[in-house]
């Protein structure tokens, strides 16, 4: 009997509450350093316009970061409907059944050329661009990856929210890094440092952490911008290398709209208009029951 190392991936789900607490603690420490310890008192005592602008931008970005973050956490990335089966071409008869192969029976990028795909782990058919997540233990529509930071899979219905979370977190950490730079540089001068030892240490650590996050998120953001423009997920990036032409590439504009929707008012918030939600390409051909409300897909 073969030893399946991926079954141990399900233990990563135990990190759920811990990772959320870690994220909230990082946000809390940053809030204390920027607002309570440094720029809040500066604004109250000196009426600094710079302090006001930093605090305004910080709170605006923080609100978007938390909104996007919890949208990713609590939004189901997309699942295959129970007992879903693909349509068979009756005129071709048994020819279509030649494509009913488990993923393990198909090598590398050839899986994407199968008309009908079957997941041996879930024991059911799965639509195009759907992949099995070893952590969640189920098939995810247009799966990108499983992110331990958001304690959820990133797929069809929360990929946009994930991208917004990365974008706003990058801008937020960059703002914190720039605003705390003077407090960081003062460590390397002979100037006297005011404030308690705890505040001084937290300011130093917060600057270093936010700088590290900003640098890492910049590369991560560039990667996903390239993926969105090419209409490719992280998982499909490996499949794309084995095909001469990526058949999901519709041009950068339509590729962008497939992720962010066509309604411009919704592009920069973690939400979809009802029209865009119902027109998602990942829903086409899934044959949900007529009483099925597509919005319930986004609720865990």
Q: What is the pLDDT of residue 91?
A: 46
Q: Which of 54, 84, 285, 258 is nearest to 163 (CA)?
A: 258
CA distances from 226 to 55, 90, 130, 145, 223 (A): 32, 40, 20, 16, 5
% of the chain exceeding 70 in pLDDT: 76
Mean pLDDT of 13-40: 88
Torsion of CA 103, 105, 107, 113, to 10 degrees: -60
Q: Mark whether 9 is an active-site residue.
A: no
* SS3 track for 265-280: HHCCCCCCCHHHHHCC
Contact present, 179 and 39 (Cβ < 8 Å): yes
Kindly tell me if the per-residue pLDDT of 253 is higher than 50.
Answer: yes
Q: Please indicate whether residue 211 or residue 284 has the higher confidence score (pLDDT).
A: 211
pLDDT of residue 292: 37
pLDDT score at 276: 84
Does a structural domain hold residue 90? no
The DSSP 8-state label assigned to residue 39 in this structure reads: I
**What's the pLDDT band for 69 if we cut at 50, 70, 90?**
very high
Structural domain includes residue 110: no
User: Distance (Å, rounded) from C-alpha 60 to C-alpha 184?
Assistant: 24
The pLDDT value recorded for residue 239 is: 72
pLDDT at 90: 45
Highest mean pLDDT among 30-44, 91-105, 177-191: 30-44
71-75, 106-110, 254-258, 294-298: the lowest-pLDDT one: 106-110
Contacts of 47-54 spanning 24+ positions with Cβ under 8 A: 54/175, 54/179
Q: Residue 102 has what pLDDT? A: 40
Tens-digit pLDDT profile for residues 175-225: 999 999 988 888 777 677 676 778 888 999 999 999 999 999 999 999 999
Residue 172 pLDDT > 90, yes or no?
yes
Across the range 258-273, mean pLDDT stands at 93
For 142: left if phi > 0, alpha if psi spans -120 to 50, otherwise beta; the answer is left
Q: Is the separation of the CB atoms in 224 and 161 below 8 Å?
A: no
In a domain, 114, yes or no: no
Q: Does a structural domain hold residue 99?
A: no
Domain that holds residue 38: 19-76+149-300
pLDDT at 137: 83
Q: pTM, whole model, 2 decimals?
A: 0.82
**Residue 87 within any structural domain of the chain:** no
Structural domain tally of the chain?
1
Computed over every residue of the chain, the mean pLDDT equals 80
**For residue 165, is pLDDT > 90?**
yes
Helix (H) or strand (E) holding 74: helix 49-74
Average pLDDT over residues 1-27: 67
- Is residue 86 in a domain? no
30 pLDDT above the threshold of 80: yes
What is the pLDDT, as a whole number, of residue 111?
40
Instruction: Name the catalytic one among 130, 133, 139, 147.
Output: 147
In this predicted structure, what is the pLDDT of residue 289?
41
Residue 122 belongs to a domain? no
Tokens (6 digits) for 48: 């600094």
User: Which pLDDT band, with edges at 50, 70 and 90, does 29 fall under?
Assistant: very high
Q: Is 264 left (phi over 0), alpha (psi -120 to 50) or beta?
A: alpha
Query: Does any domain span residue 208?
Result: yes
Burial group, residue 275, by CB count within 10 angstroms (0-12, 13-18, 19+)? exposed
Please check whether residue 164 is in contact with residue 270, taking contact to mean a CB–CB distance below 8 angstroms.
yes
């Amino acid at each position: 009997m073969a030893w399946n190392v991926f079954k141990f991936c399900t233990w990563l789900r135990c990190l759920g509450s811990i990772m959320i607490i870690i994220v909230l603690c990082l946000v809390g420490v940053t809030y204390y350093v920027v607002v309570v310890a440094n720029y809040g008192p500066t604004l109250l005592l000196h009426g600094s316009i710079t302090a006001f602008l930093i605090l305004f931008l910080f709170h605006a970005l923080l609100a978007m970061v938390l909104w996007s973050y919890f949208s990713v956490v609590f939004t189901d990335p997309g699942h295959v409907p129970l007992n879903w089966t693909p349509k068979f071409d009756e005129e071709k008869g048994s020819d279509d059944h030649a494509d009913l192969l488990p993923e393990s029976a198909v090598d590398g990028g050839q899986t994407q050329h199968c008309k009908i795909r079957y997941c041996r782990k879930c024991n059911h058919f799965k639509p195009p661009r759907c992949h099995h997540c070893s952590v969640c233990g189920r098939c995810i529509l247009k799966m990108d990856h499983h992110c331990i930071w958001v304690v959820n899979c990133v797929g069809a219905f929360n990929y946009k929210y994930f991208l917004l979370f990365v974008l706003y977190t990058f801008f937020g950490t960059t703002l914190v890094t720039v605003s705390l730079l003077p407090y960081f540089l003062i460590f390397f001068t002979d100037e006297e440092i005011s404030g308690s030892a705890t505040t001084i240490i937290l300011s130093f650590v917060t600057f270093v952490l936010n700088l590290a996050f900003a640098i890492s998120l910049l590369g991560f953001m560039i990667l996903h911008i390239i993926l969105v423009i090419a209409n490719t997920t992280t998982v499909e990036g490996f499949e794309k290398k084995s095909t001469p032409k990526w058949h999901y590439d519709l041009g950068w504009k339509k590729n962008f709209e497939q992720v962010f929707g066509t309604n411009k008012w919704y592009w920069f918030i973690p939400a979809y208009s009802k029209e865009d939600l119902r027109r998602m390409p990942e829903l086409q051909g899934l044959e949900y029951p007529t009483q099925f409300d597509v919005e319930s897909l986004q609720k865990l």
